[in-house]
């Protein structure tokens, strides 16, 4: 991700991340690439949990990582991605992100009431 940020910069960020994600990641110049990598990993994990991969109407920016007041990562879905999750009966998401030593990893759990 660090290389993509250096090479493609704005065009990469405009395509993948929401304004809120960009504001959060850009606020930390020291850990900027790590924060972007973590949010990218969340997006990939959500797409896999939905069973779509990078296709079938799921848009990168429809998957947004925010933070609770306590600082924990939280997931917001928008557009067709939110509609697909509702169709699948997903009512709650749990997300965790870790990044260390140049690596980023995210886990998401999709939960339904049924």
Q: Determine whether 99 is an active site residue.
A: yes
**Catalytic entry in 15, 35, 48, 94:** 48
**Catalytic entry in 7, 43, 78, 99:** 99
Residue 108 to residues 12, 41, 98, Cα–Cα distance (Å)? 23, 10, 12
8 Å CB contact between 46 and 56: no
Distance between the two ends of the chain, CA-based, in angstroms?
37
Q: What amino acid positions are annotated as catalytic residues?
A: 48, 99
């Amino acid at each position: 991700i660090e290389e993509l940020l250096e090479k493609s910069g704005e065009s990469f960020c405009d395509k993948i991340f929401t304004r809120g994600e960009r504001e959060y990641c850009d606020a930390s110049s020291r850990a900027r690439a790590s924060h972007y990598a973590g949010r990218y990993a969340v997006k990939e994990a959500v797409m896999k949990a939905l069973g779509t991969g990078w296709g079938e109407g799921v848009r990168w920016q429809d998957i947004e990582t925010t933070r609770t007041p306590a600082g924990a990562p939280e997931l917001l879905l928008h557009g067709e991605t939110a509609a697909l999750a509702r169709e699948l009966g997903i009512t709650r998401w749990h997300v965790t992100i870790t990044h260390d030593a140049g690596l980023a990893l995210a886990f998401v759990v999709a939960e339904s009431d049924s």
